Structure 1
Amino acid sequence: MYCRKAKLKLPMKSILEEYKCGKARLLTMLEESDDPVVKTVQPSLKTGRKWKVTEAVDESKECLKMKEVIGQTQTDRSGLGSTTAKWWSKTEGKEKNGHDHR
Structure 2
Amino acid sequence: MYCRKAKLKLPMKSIPEEYECGKARLLTTSEESDDPVVKTVQPSLKAEKKWKVTEAVDEAKECLKMKEVIGQSQTDRRGLESTTAKWWSKTEGKEKKDMIIGEIRNKGDSTRVQKAV
**TM-score w.r.t. length of structure 2:** 0.76
> Within 5 Å, which residues of 2 pair with 1:28-67?
28-67=28-67
Cα deviation per residue 1:25-81 (whole Å; 9 max; x = unaligned)?
Answer: 110001001110010122220002110000000000000000011111111111112
Task: Give the unaligned 5+ runs of structure 1.
Answer: none
Task: Give the unaligned 5+ runs of structure 2.
Answer: 100-117
Q: In structure 2, do the counterparts of structure 1 residues 68 and 3 end up closer, same or farther at CA, with 3 Å as the change threshold? A: closer
Please provide the CA RMSD for this pair: 1.7
Distance 2:12 2:46 in 1: 23
Q: Relative contact order (C-alpha < 8 Å, sep 6+): which is higher?
A: 2
CA contact (8 A) 2:2 2:14 kept: no
Identity %: 83
> Within 5 Å, which residues of 2 pair with 1:1-102?
2=1, 4=3, 7-98=7-98
Larger radius of gyration: 1
Count of residues paired in the alignment: 98
Name the structure where helix makes up a greater proportion of residues.
2
Q: Which moved more, 1:8-17 or 1:46-55?
A: 8-17
